[in-house]
Structure 1
Amino acid sequence: MTDTGIRRRLEALKQELVTLREGAADNRRPVELDQQSVGRLSRQDALQMQAMAQAADAQRGLQVRRLDAALTRLAAGDYGFCNDCGEAIPAARLALDPCAAVCVACADERQ
């Protein structure tokens, strides 16, 4: 895949995540404390849903930062090469995770 194709793919993934984050903003808002309008169990459900939405948003934010880092590596000419050993990252790994910054061997060493 060319640099242009990779850039388009990374930017499309980023835009999808940004759109999802914006669309889910209502789910992360504080839960109403008015016990008159919402029963205790309903409020607990709402709090749980809010926590799940916040966790999903944090994951999306992390992925956006990973995509930004991949775009930076692409602009610098370092995309597709391991940050640790400098070897080429296999195309199959990049197909599964286009944000991969290290090869499998270096990723295994980190664990």
Structure 2
Amino acid sequence: MNDASAGHFRALIAARLAALEHEDALGQDAQATVQLDQQSVGRLSRMDALQGQAMAKASAARRDTERRRLTAALRRLDEGEFGFCEDCGDEIAPARLEFDPAAQKCIACAKG
């Protein structure tokens, strides 16, 4: 991989990490503890709030997983291993890396 390609993918990964940080900031309120005051909120509203909280926490967990994958991709870029399949060692198609810069396997190995 040449320096221009590495720079492109580094910028792409940085942009995706920034987007994850932005999403984290937006989702903070949804993860807050649900108040169980029966005087101000009905039972169904509390259930909806609890469900919303659970969904927000699940989304945060998915963002954390994606953040770890992207950070690992940056590490592979630094080590010169980015863009190569971890199973067979062949190059991963550039289009696949454009779609998912954290991909660690070529299409053939990912399919099994």
Q: Please give the TM-score of this superposition, normalised by the length of structure 2.
A: 0.92
The CA RMSD over aligned residues, in Å, is 1.0
Q: Secondary structure of 1:78's match?
A: coil
Alignment of 1:100 onto 2:103:
yes
Give the match for residue 88 of structure 1: 91
Give the match for residue 66 of structure 1: 69
Give the match for residue 20 of structure 2: 17
Unaligned stretches of 5+ residues in structure 2: none
Structure 1 residue identity aligned to 2:43: R
Q: Please give the TM-score of this superposition, normalised by the length of structure 1.
A: 0.93
List structure 1 segments (4+ residues) > 4 angstroms apart after TM superposition: none
Alpha-carbon distance between aligned partners in 2 of 1:101 and 1:85, rounded to the nearest angstrom: 11
Alpha-carbon distance between aligned partners in 2 of 1:43 and 1:24, rounded to the nearest angstrom: 18
Alpha-carbon distance between aligned partners in 2 of 1:35 and 1:55, rounded to the nearest angstrom: 26
Alpha-carbon distance between aligned partners in 2 of 1:82 and 1:2, rounded to the nearest angstrom: 17
1:65 CA drift (Å): 0.7
1:93 CA drift (Å): 1.0
Alpha-carbon distance between aligned partners in 2 of 1:66 and 1:84, rounded to the nearest angstrom: 17
Count of aligned positions: 109
Q: Secondary structure of 1:2's match?
A: helix
Give the alignment partner of residue 27 of structure 1, picking from 18, 27, 30. Answer: 30
